[in-house]
């Protein structure tokens, strides 16, 4: 309990620092973008790192969030806050539809289905000219995502995510990740567990997409292609599967590196691909493995083995 | 006092895998509060019987009754929520999680259950999470209200069970790194944490040395006594079962060949032949006696 | 007369569809073959196809070889690249961990590397193989029914290669070993099969078949570094047929090819991709394990 409060307080402090630290306009933009990327990465991390489901279509949920928020604010004059939340909800609904048939299967079915879903959503957005303005994109979105909004969403969703993994849901998801049969025979309906993870991750990606729309003022279907989905998953793997703080570190690292190499985009992608292979070969467990950052701090660890840090509530 | 209520009943259960019949016309009854055993040589189909009872497979024919309700069509998780917990012959712990976390994962999943009449007049199982060990999604998300108290209760209950199987000092060790015998006991603690009505132990002594086996004997009889828990044990080593189980079912080639008290089993010609080996000579010798 | 026109369109689109489907089948079969042995989705498979396409183009245009030698070079080259990828990127991971997720991500990395390597080295331009490379005449089958010789040609070649694969798998010692490994790789290893070599052979065969597909696709759609993206459809076909099943991959591919071409012929060309992905979703709803996939037998 004490550690939970401590963790939540630390997160709020991080949020306050990010929101009020004096920065140049350019740096403020980077912080906002970083927070958006972190929100999406946390969603994917819950699904891939904690539940063991591999997705190659989560950019589609970002697209759904982005277009929902954009259309609601621009066409119907809805306030940006409910529009962003609606973006998350639409993503959840679609995730539920796609999850129903695919999450009952194991293996790479969800991965392939998620490619299909991702492509299908992109194609619909491209072809539904009258509603989405098609492939040329959707301009004129209000810049409602300033640094404060972005950091605010990040803080709230971050606290929620860490609280979730340090509660019964966290243990449930890890159980169905580690041994589906054992989990079933402990009374977990594993398809339902996987569904919970998918819906939550879709919500996070939907929100991130909606924020991205307000940040860029312009969205187009090609921003949410399979490359973007790959990037989301790669960030999570880079940070360490099963480590939420690792995901945040990984996201921060990759966002910075991508920003740094923005000018040489061809080589950037080549380096990025090579990096993925090299990480998988040399350090597949990622930056932090399946440990959280505070597991490396002896005073928080309480002098016991590493697994202590991942136990409900106490590890924080 | 012996309660003479029937807890579990198998009625003519057949299980085919492709063309292979793993279980043939299996019928037996387990009374409430019984400590029963299933013995049989390797490959006799014992684990398949457990898999059918616990809902991993649907039997090809026959039915399974638990607390006077037909549980044959239920999924594994439903069967479990109705109060049947089990361990595994090939250990299935969450290896990277700590011993304590393994047990907590089970403790948080206690269900209170009953059978309720549905719209079509059939009885269907109904269960809801035990409110003492459960809390809502919002409480998880915000760590408010019952979160702290319930997490504490789950942790304490789990520690208590770890202590019961003698693993309290290993609570924070990753389950996969525990010695083999301890992993077996951890599985028992994890099954107990579900607060079952029926405990199925699949070869609990496999891979243990004689001292560990005798400690296990004490553990199983102790749990049976203290928790008043109906327990069904599978073993292919006769000794353990003969020692602790008053009621024994003996299987060979998927079928029941004998049932009764340890004395009855020991004096049964078919059981002897099943155990004395596959060679025709030994077989005839055993039957001839 | 209207009926006549419709009939001829129907017939033409069926031939087109079978032709396209058989090319998908070449790709899907290789992907399924790898999946059946290592149970991971090799997303670099599309890269092998592009490698094959560019080698063929390079030998044909740059070195002036004839199409047969260029194709042969492409097949061997792509097979070699596939086996090399396995050796350099996947083998170290396989030896370290049993988590197929890491292989999956490495394969995505490889796919990105191959694509961008071509962008940097040869540029992102669309390149067309010369018109007369393959038979391309249209010939009439009486009435309004015309068929392109290229469609018939690619159908025949694809069927030949698929038949060859079938013979390889059913008649040769290595084929038998591969089928055994598809059941259980570890056991096959314990039985004395050289697993390393076997996996290299599987990747070589997969890369070779992808190159055949790559050459036909680069004639059909021109050649560019992102052409490998088309493998997504082969993945979809493999899922529709049942992941890891070779007959499933072929059947799924043919269905997909037909659906695509019939949509293009009767509804609109823009809708064809949408139809493909809708079919995936419908299939997953109706028969989630695909036509030939293992149905889930347990109740977990």
Q: Domain coordinates of chain C in residue numbers?
A: 2-126+149-286
Orientation angle between helical segments C231-241 and C246-266, nearest 10 degrees: 120
Q: Is residue B112 part of a domain?
A: yes
Neighbouring residues of C69: CB distance < 8 A, sequence distance ≥ 6: C59
Q: Is residue A126 part of a domain?
A: yes
Does residue C125 come out as left (phi exceeding 0), alpha (psi in the -120 to 50 range) or beta? beta
Q: Domain count of chain B?
A: 1
Q: Is residue B279 part of a domain?
A: no
Predicted pLDDT at A238: 86
Q: Is residue A257 part of a domain?
A: no
Q: Is residue A23 part of a domain?
A: yes
- Chain A: residues touching B (Cβ < 8 Å): 1, 4, 8, 160, 163-164, 166-169, 171-172, 174-175, 178-179, 181-182, 184-190, 290, 304-308, 310-314
Predicted pLDDT at B86: 93
Check CB contact of C296 with chain B, cutoff 8 Å. no
pLDDT band at residue C299 under the 50/70/90 scheme:
low
Most B CBs within 10 A among A2, A7, A50, A168, hence the mutation to make, goes to A168
Instruction: Tell me if A149 sits within 8 A of A138, measured CB to CB.
Output: no
Q: What CATH code is assigned to C2-126+149-286?
A: 1.10.3470
Identify all chain B residues contacting A307, using CB atoms and an 8 Å cutoff.
96-98, 101, 172-174
- Largest Cα–Cα separation, chain A: 62
Q: Is residue A268 part of a domain?
A: no
Predicted pLDDT at A262: 73
Q: Domain count of chain A?
A: 1
Q: Is residue A306 part of a domain?
A: no
Contact state of A311 with B101 under an 8 Å Cβ cutoff: yes
Q: Is residue B218 part of a domain?
A: no
| Domain of residue A65, residue span | 2-227
Residue C2 has pLDDT above 60, yes or no: no
Instruction: Tell me if C134 sits within 8 A of C222, measured CB to CB.
Output: no
Alpha-carbon gap: A210 to the closest alpha carbon of chain B (Å): 22
Q: Which residue has the tokens 């970083």?
A: A34
Q: Which residue of C lies nearest to A240 if distances are taken between CA atoms?
A: C102
pLDDT digit string, tens, across residues A39-76: 999 999 999 999 988 888 899 999 999 999 999 999 89
Neighbouring residues of A38: CB distance < 8 A, sequence distance ≥ 6: A154, A158, A247, A248, A251, A252
pLDDT digit string, tens, across residues B86-95: 999 888 999 8
The mean-pLDDT minimum among B27-36, B191-200, B271-280, C181-190 falls in B271-280
The mean-pLDDT minimum among B114-123, C28-37, C61-70, C267-276 falls in B114-123
Neighbouring residues of B35: CB distance < 8 A, sequence distance ≥ 6: B220, B221, B224, B230, B231, B233, B244, B245, B246, B247
Q: Is residue B197 part of a domain?
A: yes
Contact state of A273 with C285 under an 8 Å Cβ cutoff: no
Q: Is residue A94 part of a domain?
A: yes
Q: Is residue B283 part of a domain?
A: no
Residue B27 has pLDDT above 60, yes or no: yes
Residue A10 has pLDDT above 60, yes or no: yes
Q: Is residue B106 part of a domain?
A: yes
pLDDT band at residue C207 under the 50/70/90 scheme:
very high
Instruction: Tell me if B93 sits within 8 A of B191, measured CB to CB.
Output: no
Check CB contact of A294 with chain C, cutoff 8 Å. no
Q: Which residue has the tokens 């891939």?
A: A48
Residue C194 has pLDDT above 80, yes or no: yes
pLDDT digit string, tens, across residues B205-236: 888 888 888 888 899 999 999 988 999 999 87
The mean-pLDDT minimum among A75-89, B237-251, B263-277, C10-24 falls in B263-277
Model confidence, pTM: 0.85
Residue C185 has pLDDT above 80, yes or no: yes
Q: Is residue A311 part of a domain?
A: no
Q: Determine how many CB atoms are found less than 10 A away from the CB of residue A96.
A: 13
* For range C242-269, the mean pLDDT: 87
Average pLDDT value for chain A: 85
Check CB contact of C103 with chain A, cutoff 8 Å. yes
CATH of the domain at B175: 3.40.50.300
Identify all chain A residues contacting C97, using CB atoms and an 8 Å cutoff.
284
Q: Which residue of A lies nearest to B51 if distances are taken between CA atoms?
A: A185
Predicted pLDDT at B280: 45
| Residue C169, token pair as written in the block | 């798998």
| Domain of residue B99, residue span | 85-204+224-230
Predicted pLDDT at B277: 61
Average pLDDT value for chain C: 85
């Amino acid at each position: 309990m004490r550690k939970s409060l401590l963790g939540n307080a630390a997160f709020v402090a991080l949020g306050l620092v990010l929101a009020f630290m004096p920065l140049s306009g350019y740096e403020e933009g980077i912080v906002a973008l970083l927070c958006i990327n972190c929100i999406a990465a946390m969603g994917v991390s819950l699904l891939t790192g904690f539940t063991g489901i591999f997705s190659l279509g989560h950019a589609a949920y970002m697209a759904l969030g982005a277009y929902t928020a954009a259309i609601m604010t621009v066409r119907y004059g809805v306030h940006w806050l409910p529009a962003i939340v609606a973006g998350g909800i639409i993503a959840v609904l679609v995730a539920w539809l796609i999850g129903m048939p695919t999450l009952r299967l194991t293996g790479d079915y969800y991965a392939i289905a998620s490619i299909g879903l991702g492509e299908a959503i992109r194609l619909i957005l491209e072809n539904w000219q009258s509603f989405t303005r098609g492939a040329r994109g959707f301009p004129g979105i209000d810049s409602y995502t300033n640094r404060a909004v972005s950091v605010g969403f990040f803080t709230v969703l971050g606290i929620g995510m860490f609280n979730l993994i340090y509660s019964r849901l966290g243990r449930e998801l890890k159980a169905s990740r580690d041994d589906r049969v054992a989990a079933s025979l402990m009374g977990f309906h594993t398809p339902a567990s996987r569904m919970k993870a998918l819906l939550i991750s879709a919500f996070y990606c939907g929100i991130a997409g909606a924020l991205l729309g307000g940040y860029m003022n312009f969205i187009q279907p090609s921003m949410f292609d399979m490359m973007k989905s790959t990037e989301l998953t790669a960030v999570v793997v880079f940070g360490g599967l099963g480590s939420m703080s690792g995901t945040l570190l990984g996201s921060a690292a990759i966002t910075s590196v991508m920003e740094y190499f923005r000018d040489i985009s061809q080589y950037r992608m080549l380096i990025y691909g090579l990096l993925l292979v090299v990480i998988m070969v040399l350090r597949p467990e990622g930056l932090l493995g399946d440990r959280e950052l505070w597991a490396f701090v002896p005073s928080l660890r309480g002098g016991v083995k590493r697994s202590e840090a991942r136990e409900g509530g106490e590890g924080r | 006092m012996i309660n003479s209520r029937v807890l579990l009943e198998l009625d003519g259960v057949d299980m085919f895998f492709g063309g292979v019949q793993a279980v043939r016309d299996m019928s037996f009854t387990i009374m409430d509060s019984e400590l029963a055993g299933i013995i049989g040589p390797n490959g006799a189909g014992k684990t398949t019987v457990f898999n059918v009872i616990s809902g991993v497979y649907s039997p090809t024919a026959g039915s399974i009754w638990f607390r006077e309700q037909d549980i044959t069509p239920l999924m594994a998780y439903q069967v479990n929520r109705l109060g049947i917990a089990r361990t595994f012959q090939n250990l299935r712990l969450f290896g990277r999680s700590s011993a304590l976390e393994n047990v907590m994962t089970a403790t948080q999943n206690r269900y209170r259950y009953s059978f309720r009449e549905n719209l079509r007049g059939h009885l269907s199982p109904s269960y809801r999470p035990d409110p003492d060990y459960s809390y809502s999604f919002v409480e998880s998300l915000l760590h408010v209200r019952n979160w702290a108290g319930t997490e504490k209760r789950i942790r304490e209950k789990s520690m208590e069970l770890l202590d019961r199987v003698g693993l309290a000092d290993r609570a924070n060790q990753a389950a996969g790194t525990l010695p083999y015998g301890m992993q077996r006991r951890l599985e028992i603690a994890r099954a107990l944490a579900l607060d079952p009505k029926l405990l199925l132990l699949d070869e609990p002594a496999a891979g243990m040395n004689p001292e560990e086996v005798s400690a296990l004997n004490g553990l199983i009889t102790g749990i049976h006594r203290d928790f008043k828990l109906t327990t069904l044990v599978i073993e292919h080593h006769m000794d353990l079962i003969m020692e602790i189980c008053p009621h024994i079912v003996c299987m060979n080639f998927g079928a029941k060949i004998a049932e009764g008290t340890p004395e009855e089993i020991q004096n049964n010609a078919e059981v002897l032949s099943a155990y004395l080996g596959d060679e025709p000579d030994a077989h005839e010798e055993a039957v001839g006696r | 007369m209207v009926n006549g026109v419709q009939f001829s369109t129907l017939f033409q689109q069926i031939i087109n569809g079978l032709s396209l489907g058989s090319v998908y089948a070449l790709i899907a079969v290789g992907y399924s073959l790898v999946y059946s042995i290592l149970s991971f989705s090799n997303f670099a498979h599309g890269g092998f196809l592009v490698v094959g396409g560019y080698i063929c183009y390079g030998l044909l245009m740059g070195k002036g070889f004839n199409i047969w030698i260029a194709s042969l070079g492409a097949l061997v080259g792509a097979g070699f690249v596939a086996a090399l990828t396995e050796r350099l990127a996947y083998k170290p991971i396989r030896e370290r961990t049993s988590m197929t997720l890491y292989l999956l991500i490495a394969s995505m990395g490889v796919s990105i590397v191959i694509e961008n390597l071509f962008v940097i080295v040869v540029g992102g331009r669309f390149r067309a193989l010369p018109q007369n490379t393959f038979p391309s005449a249209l010939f009439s089958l009486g009435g309004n029914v015309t068929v392109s010789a290229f469609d018939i040609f690619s159908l025949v070649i694809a069927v030949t290669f698929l038949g060859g694969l079938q013979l390889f798998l059913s008649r040769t010692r290595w084929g038998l070993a591969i089928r055994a490994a598809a059941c259980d790789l570890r056991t096959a290893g314990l039985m004395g099969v050289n697993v390393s070599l076997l996996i290299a052979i599987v990747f070589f065969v997969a890369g070779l078949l992808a190159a055949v597909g790559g050459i036909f696709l680069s004639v059909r759609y021109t050649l560019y570094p992102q052409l490998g993206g088309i493998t997504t459809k082969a993945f979809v076909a493999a899922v529709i047929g049942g992941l890891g099943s070779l007959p499933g991959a072929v059947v799924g591919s043919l269905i997909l090819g037909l659906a695509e071409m019939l949509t293009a012929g009767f509804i609109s060309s823009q809708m064809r991709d949408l139809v493909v992905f809708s079919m995936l979703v419908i299939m997953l709803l109706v028969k989630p394990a695909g036509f030939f996939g293992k149905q889930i037998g347990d109740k977990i």
